Amino acid sequence: MRITSGGCTDVGRVRTNNEDSFRIVAPLDLFVLSDGMGGEAHGEVASALAVETVASHCLEAVHNPSAPFFGERNAALSERTNRLASAIRLANRKIHEAATTNAAQRGMGATVIAAWVQEHRISVAHVGDSRAYLLRSGSLDQLTRDHSLVAEQVRRGILTPQQADESEMQSVLIRALGTQPEVEVDADEHALLDGDAVVICSDGLTRMVTDPEIASTLLTEPVPQKSAERLVVLANENGGEDNVTVIVMQVQPAASNLVARLRRWFGSPSDAPASAGGN
C-alpha cells in the first residue's frame, strides 16, 4: 500500500491572522493538523507547538522505542495508536506550561487531529473539533467526534443537528489543548482499503463546506494536493469565516498488487494459448 497526500492552509476571508498549522511527515505517513485559539494570546504559537511536538515525539519513538511515554496505554489499541495519544498529551503539557509562564500567551490553546498510517491501518487521535473523514466507495464517514458544546448537546438530544449548525455556540469547546495540565485524548484505529481517501481538517472547512461537497470534491479530484486546495477554495467561496486547513490522503495499491490485478483482469502471458508455429 502506498499513501499519496497533499495539504493546504489559508487565512480565510475574515481573519487577518492564520492560527492553523499542519505538517506532513511523508516518510512516516504521519499527518498532523492543529487549529490555534487565543487571538492576541498567540493561538498560532499554540498550534505550531502542537504540530511540532506531535511530529517530533513520533519521530523519536520510531528511532527509539523506549522513548518516554506520557499517560496510560490502552491495551485495546496498537503501540502506534498509543504513541500518537502520548504525543498529544505531551503537546498539551507544553502548551499549558507556555501559557502559564508567559503572560503574553496566557489563554492560548489549540485543537489537534493526527493520523498515522501503518500497512493497512490508520491510527487517529484528536482533541477538539478538528475532524477526520474517511471516503470509501463514494460514502463519507466522520471518524472523530467533536469536543464542542453543541456536539455534546446533539449527542444528549438537547439540540438537533440542524439547530447545532445554526447555533452561535459552535466555537465553544469542552476539550482543547493547553487549557488544563492534563487532557483526555480520543484515539482509535481503522482498517484502510485500496482506493480509500482520508481527510483531516480544521473547522474552517466543516463550517463552510458540507459533507456532500467534501465527498464530491474528493471523487472528482483524485490528486490529494489538488483536492485539498479545492476544498480550501470552496470554504472561501462559501464565506471563509475562519482559517481553513485541509490534508488529504489517498490510499494507492502497491505496485505488486496492481500488477496482480492487471493479470487477473487481462490474463497473464502464461494464460495465453500457445503458438502453433513460426512465421
Q: What is the pLDDT of residue 260?
A: 47
3-state class of 98 per DSSP? helix
Q: What is the pLDDT of residue 41?
A: 72
In this predicted structure, the answer to whether residue 173 has a pLDDT above a threshold of 50 is: yes
96-123 average pLDDT score: 95
Residue 60 burial (10 A CB sphere; 0-12, 13-18, 19+): middle
Q: What is the pLDDT of residue 163?
A: 86
Q: How confident is the model at residue 273 (pLDDT cuts 50, 70, 90)?
A: very low
Tell me 113's DSSP state. Answer: E
Longest dimension (CA), the chain: 88
- How large is the angle between the packed helices 211-220 and 224-237, nearest 10 degrees? 140
222-237 average pLDDT score: 98
Distance, C-alpha 112 to centroid of its chain:
8
Q: What is the pLDDT of residue 268?
A: 45
Q: What is the pLDDT of residue 261?
A: 47
What value does the mean pLDDT of the chain take? 91
Q: What is the pLDDT of residue 70?
A: 98
Q: How confident is the model at residue 270 (pLDDT cuts 50, 70, 90)?
A: very low
In the chain the domains, ranked by start, together with CATH numbers, are: 2-265 (3.60.40.10)
Q: What is the pLDDT of residue 272?
A: 39
Least trusted range by pLDDT, from 35-49, 86-100, 171-185: 35-49
In this predicted structure, the answer to whether residue 172 has a pLDDT above a threshold of 90 is: no
Q: Which residues of 120-134 are buried (b: 16+ CB within 10 A; e: fewer)?
A: eebbbbbbbbbbbbb
3-state class of 71 per DSSP? coil
State which amino acid sits at residue 36.
G
In this predicted structure, the answer to whether residue 107 has a pLDDT above a threshold of 70 is: yes
Q: What is the pLDDT of residue 266?
A: 54
What pTM was estimated for this model as a whole?
0.88
At 239, give phi and psi (nearest 5°): 135, -35
CB contact at 8 A, 7 and 202: no
In this predicted structure, the answer to whether residue 274 has a pLDDT above a threshold of 70 is: no
223-229 average pLDDT score: 98
In this predicted structure, the answer to whether residue 196 has a pLDDT above a threshold of 50 is: yes
Which percentage of the chain shows pLDDT scores above 90? 78
Q: How confident is the model at residue 255 (pLDDT cuts 50, 70, 90)?
A: low
At 199, give phi and psi (nearest 5°): -120, 130
At 177, give phi and psi (nearest 5°): -75, 140
Rounded Cα–Cα distance for residues 107 and 18 (Å): 17
